[in-house]
Amino acid sequence: MLSGNGLKTLLLSGVIVFCFSHLRVQSSPFVIGYERFHSETPSIEGGRLLFNELGCVNCHDHPTGLPTRKGPRLDGLLQRARSDWVEAFLGDPDSMKRGATMPNMDLSDEEIEATKHYLASLKLKKKIPKAFKFVNADRGMRLYHTIGCVSCHTPDSDFDEDENRAQADGLSYPNVPFPDLQEKYDIHSLSAYLFKPHDFSSHGRMPKFTLEREDGGDLAAYLLEYTNGDSTNYPKIQSLEFDVAQANEGRKVLVSKNCIACHDFPQAERLRRKGLTKIRSTDFPSGDHPEYALSENQWQSITLFLNRRDKRAPVSTILESLNCVACHDRNSIGGPDTDRKKYFTGDHDLGDAGRFPPTLSDAGRKLQPKWLEGAIKGKRSIRPYLRVQMPDFGVSTKGLSKRFVNEDKVSVAKKSPNKNTEEGRTLLGTHGGLNCITCHGWDDRRSLGISSINLGNVHERLQVDWFREYLINPSVHRPNNLMPSFWPEGIASNQEILDGNTQAQINAIYSFSKYGVGLPEGFPDLKTNEFEIIPIDRPIVQRSFMKGVGTHALLIGYPEGIHFAFDAKSGNPAMMWKGRFFDAYTTWFSRFPEFEKPLGEEVVRWTGTDDSSGSQYRGYRFDSDGTPEFLVELKGAILYERLQPVTSESGELSV
């Protein structure tokens, strides 16, 4: 039977019991992998997901084969979340976050009060770091819609960068819901969580993105709808004075409810895992049991899973549990839906490969095991043109690379290809070869044209058998790929090198990556200084990415041989050097340049010029002899700043 709202309540004890919910109308718990792939028809894998993601497996001995999911650590909780919100959440989780995966523990008012005092007694060893003083909600909105947040969470209809607006009601699968963030966090605690989520929830489902600390503040400002710009003005979480006797009682409550099964807190022993003997549906009074308001389909899915003891989950279900399939597909299942695709941006010249993360189909056959392990941890970024990031899921991905390898049935080559490295060098280059370096870089050298994946480490990344298959027919492995085949249907387009032997040619390319010395033929000779900028008659201004300055560097070169770098982000001078000025090869020819260094010597950096001064860069202008003046706004006043070497009467140079 179902209750009037179509939900059953799951209570977990030594026996799994399904009963009517006697509470207000509740939403069923929200598990994104289940909602997207299993919500229409009851299934074993849907039940596996629910039993794992709702924490049932943390108390009951019925392994799921999925990454452990736990709630946040409890020490410092009331330093991170407002006590009123926590109190209300303990009383009714679903009322504070629709679809909460935290069960209703049927706590009395007295138990909630005691628990709150115990939580207040659990302090962090380190204070939560404060957000940067200056926060930018508009920049936070751009980050939220470009680095991958909207793959899981709701896009904002007000975001309209590059006319990529998508209405939230047009999305084909639901979004992971937020609680009321303003009621729960202050800007400092939310910023700290976004910056390092695993510090507070090591077994959660929020991954760690590659962010600067200021990014966390900007994202928090956007999510909290805070447009003041000064984080010090945001209402802070007030500490709660705790009563020792109440705190002791609260600890007893948490121990008796076995909260340690899903939350870490000091000096608590986990109760013995309970077995599952049978499943029955009946009316059952509320008591010392976690209560979940399950839909009929969820209930049936869990029943199917529990009636089959299968300890090993398929890789597809692991990916659903972590929601990897929000960005990636595997075997044509998953990936962003049509409306979310609008938020995946990058290099349109590369087609879909320049916007979307790679498929995970055959990932165990494709990637070398060590590389796959690093890629899963977000430490193998080889696609700088993608704006969406590969985040780190922490301990939740332990063992996943081996699962890929086992499921994809990898047959590792017993020996490396023949060492025809010189033929490989020729094939890769532009002097009688296949012109690969037109689109692909090699080691620290950028491609000559559009910038696709660097090929210098092919042997470290790719299994040789998969590499051969891909080069013969790239579109089979990635549809809508701009990569052509130079061996269509296995026939080499270049019949001169290695007598047109397809396997030998591909092996030679792989061998040059592994054993070769030097570069493919066709890269410009940097030793000729062909792209060195030399100021002769007038000053020269060049924009670039500069190490020690940042992505907003304005370089000013003078004929006198004294040069400067101005940081347009902070509105301050940043660096000075003498001698040679700058080599612009990477800046001019690479779509994704790395941070450059001055060509000269005796580099001096300005100190005390970070962006805490509040100055804002407003552009620059030239005087009659071409010397730039930088316009900076400080506290409403426009200042003009000139950096220029001056020759004294004695012939000495000064600034």
- Residue 561, exposed/middle/buried by CB under 10 A (0-12, 13-18, 19+)? middle
Lowest mean pLDDT among 64-73, 218-227, 558-567, 622-631: 622-631
Lowest mean pLDDT among 35-49, 330-344, 527-541: 527-541
What average pLDDT does this structure show over 293-319?
Answer: 93
CB hemisphere CA count around 311 (13 angstroms): 2
Confidence of residue 543 (pLDDT cuts 50, 70, 90): confident
pLDDT at 94 over 70: yes
Instruction: Outline which parts of the chain fall under CATH 1.10.760.10.
Output: 421-523
DSSP state of 532: E
pLDDT at 334 over 90: yes
- Specify the pLDDT at position 627: 86
pLDDT at 88 over 60: yes
- Specify the pLDDT at position 477: 87
Lowest mean pLDDT among 143-157, 459-473, 628-642: 628-642
- Specify the pLDDT at position 595: 80
Looking at this protein, which amino acid is placed at residue 534? I
- Specify the pLDDT at position 162: 58
Give the burial string for 71-90 (b: 16+ CB within 10 Å, else e).
bbbbbbbbbbbbbebbbbbb
Residue whose token pair is 């969406």:
388
The per-residue pLDDT for range 613-647, each reduced to its tens digit, is: 667 777 777 777 778 888 888 877 888 888 888 76
Domain at 421-523: CATH code = 1.10.760.10
- Specify the pLDDT at position 416: 61
Lowest mean pLDDT among 12-16, 271-275, 532-536, 631-635: 12-16
Average per-residue pLDDT for the chain? 86
- Specify the pLDDT at position 640: 81
Residue whose token pair is 């628990």:
115
Token couple for 540? 């020269």
- Specify the pLDDT at position 621: 76
- Specify the pLDDT at position 591: 56
Question: Which residue from 26, 53, 3, 516 is spatially nearest to 317, judged by alpha carbons?
Answer: 53
Lowest mean pLDDT among 134-148, 223-237, 605-619: 605-619
Confidence of residue 538 (pLDDT cuts 50, 70, 90): confident
Does residue 185 sit in helix, strand or coil? coil
pLDDT at 20 over 50: no
pLDDT at 572 over 50: yes
Residue whose token pair is 């680095």:
147
In contact, 258 and 273? CB cutoff 8 Å: no
Please give the Cα distance from 251 to 245 (Å, whole number): 10
Radius of gyration for the alpha carbons in the chain, expressed in angstroms and rounded: 30
Virtual CA dihedral for 323, 329, 334, 337, nearest 10 degrees?
A: 100
Question: Which residue from 1, 49, 42 is spatially nearest to 21, judged by alpha carbons?
Answer: 1
The per-residue pLDDT for range 358-398, each reduced to its tens digit, is: 999 999 999 999 999 999 999 988 998 899 999 999 999 99
Please give the Cα distance from 642 to 627 (Å, whole number): 8
